[in-house]
Amino acid sequence: MAAKNLLVILSDAHQARALSCAGHPTARTPHLDALARRGTRFIAAYAPATARAAAFAALATGRMPTAIGRHLDDDDPYDGAIPAWQHAVRDAGHAVVAIGALACHDPAGGDHGFSDRRLAGAAAALPAAGPLAGPGESDQTRADRDIASEAQIWLREEAPRQGVPWCLLVSLATPGYPLIAPPEHYYAADPERLALPERSSAEDEAALRRRLAAYHGLVAFADEQVGRILDCLEQTGLALSTRVLYAAMRGESAGLRGPWGAPDLHEESIGVPMILAGHGVPQRTVVATPVSLRDLFPTVIDTLGLAAEAPEGTCSLVAVARGARPAREVVAEHRPAGACEPAVMLRDERWKLIRRSGQPPQLFDLDADPDERADLGASPAHAALRMRLEARLAAALGAGTARGAARAARR
């Protein structure tokens, strides 16, 4: 049977390496591991931006926030004015439903393209990283239980009524902040025995252990909610006709290079887990081709068989999973607090360039240095390579007028 439906599950701040199938010593993700076994895991997947609103705008439209000319931070969320893949799905006569809070204006603020939105206010105001961490419940964990339940209800009651292909987007609030994990998941991480990472933060060891235990407890909790949804998909028989994509809106620094929750363009903050499974997707496959959340746009078109055109610079994840190896690169943005210009990143098959306003560029060889410890930005031997990557980064982000438009929009 050919795939015709698409289930997209997005979590919040899931570090790309925090999967037990990726070899992480602490992460407990049995349901995502099972999804990876029956599908393809992309190990060089990235969010287009560190801010949730900017990342969602890029995920929806397939364009970089800078190219859009706005949506650069959480104060400027997506309003539906620029067409998105969900508009294309709905305009083709298909159901496209969102369950859970999204980083966009509420439905009264614009047409986001969804034919239905449910629990749109669930834990919508995500708190910033704070000192509190430990066992317990929060608005985010309570909301995610409701979101997973609502997804099951839709799959059982609404999906069978659809006479045409459908797309269901489920947006979870975990893992993320506050770092409060349900006790069964917090204590399973065993904070007293956690291996502490090398870090530059001045946080004391006991506090760091509580944060790590809570974070990995939330990863396990989010995996549990994913499992509830996927079990329902199997029980209803919809798995035969539905592709599943799991990804996160952003990564998590986890205090590796400074204060906990301080995002950056290094791998732990901008890299995200991404798994695609279902009809026509190779099983037990790992792909190292760089991909982005922006690639959801052509993936939707591919899966639902739409006639819409995907934005330039995007590529169907189905094609990449099946063996297409385009020579491509991904870019991402990060706007530090108070900065006028975003920091930007380019990643190709091997190299990663980070450029920050007023600072020397950084260059990393991710094949030899996956943890980004050796900055080659000032290396004379890599000067020509750096210049080529700078030119490719500028071209990928678009002309300077786009950045000017962004500044004008912010003013």
Give per-residue pLDDT as tens, 52-62: 888 999 999 99
Strand 291-292 with 45-46, pairing: parallel
Write the single-letter amino acid at 312: E
Q: Where are the beta strands (DSSP E) in 148-191?
A: 166-171, 179-181
Give the end of a domain, one of 299, 325, 351.
Answer: 325
Give residue 155's domain range.
Answer: 5-325
Residues 48 and 186 in one domain: yes
Compute the C-alpha angle 291/293/298, nearest 5°. 80
CA separation, residue 123 to residues 87, 100, 162, 227, 261 (Å): 25, 8, 29, 20, 18
d(CA 104, CA 110): 9
Q: Alpha-carbon distance 90 to 300, whole Å?
A: 12
Residues 275 and 372 in one domain: no
Are 256 and 397 contained in the same domain? no
**Using the 8-state DSSP alphabet, how is residue 10 labeled?**
E
CA distance 43 to 53: 23
Report the C-alpha gap between 274 and 41 in whole angstroms: 6
Segment holding 124, helix H or strand E: none
Query: Quick one: which of 303, 141, 125 has its CA closest to 221?
Result: 141
Q: What is the pLDDT of residue 92?
A: 94
Same domain membership, residue 381 and residue 397: yes
Do 365 and 279 lie in one domain? The reply is no
Q: Which of 96, 87, 10, 99 is nearest to 56 (CA)?
A: 10
pLDDT score of 356: 92
The pLDDT value given to residue 60: 94
Burial 53-64 (b: 16+ CB within 10 A, else e): bbbbbbbbbbbb
Q: Is the peptide bond before 83 cis (omega within 30 degrees of 0)?
A: no
Of 281, 302, 325, the residue at which a domain comes to its end is 325
Contacts with 278 (C-beta within 8 Å, 6 or more apart), sequence order: 3, 39, 239, 242, 243, 244
Q: Are residues 312 and 376 in the same domain?
A: no
List the CATH number of the domain containing 392: 3.30.1120
Are the CB atoms for 83 and 64 separated by under 8 Å?
no
8 A C-beta contact, residue 294 and residue 277 = no
Q: Give the domain CATH number at 112.
A: 3.40.720.10
Looking at the structure, tell me whether residues 352 and 253 fall in a common domain: no
- In a shared domain, residues 263 and 402: no
270 and 394 part of one domain: no
Q: What is the pLDDT of residue 330?
A: 95
Do residue 41 and residue 125 come from a single domain?
A: yes
Beta bridge partners of 169: 8, 98
Instruction: From 325, 346, 375, give the residue that closes a domain.
Output: 325
Token pair of 187 as six digits? 């204590």
> In a 3-state reduction of DSSP, which class is residue 310?
coil
- Give the Cβ contact number of residue 267 at 10 Å: 22
What are 370's two structure tokens? 């996956």
* Of the candidates 74, 67, 98, the residue with the CA atom closest to the CA atom of residue 85: 98
Quote the number of domains for the chain.
2
Residue 3 confidence (pLDDT): 63
Same domain, 215 and 90: yes
Residue 92, SS3? coil
Chunked mean pLDDT (size 10), the chain, 411 residues: 83 96 94 98 96 91 80 68 93 96 68 90 64 90 97 97 94 95 93 72 78 95 98 96 97 83 89 96 96 97 92 94 88 81 92 94 96 96 96 78 39 35
State how far the Cα of 411 lies from the Cα of 404, in Å rounded to an integer. 11
pTM, full prediction: 0.92
Q: Tell me: the pLDDT tens digits for 232-276?
A: 999 999 999 999 999 999 999 888 887 777 789 999 999 999 999
Judge whether 51 and 296 are in contact, CB under 8 Å.
no
C-alpha to C-alpha distance for 169 and 156, rounded to whole angstroms: 15
In this structure, what token pair is assigned to residue 286? 């790992």
For the chain, give the longest Cα–Cα distance: 63
Q: What is the dihedral of CA 364, 367, 371, 374, to 10 degrees?
A: -40
Are 367 and 299 in the same domain?
Answer: no
For tokens 């993700």, what's the residue? 29
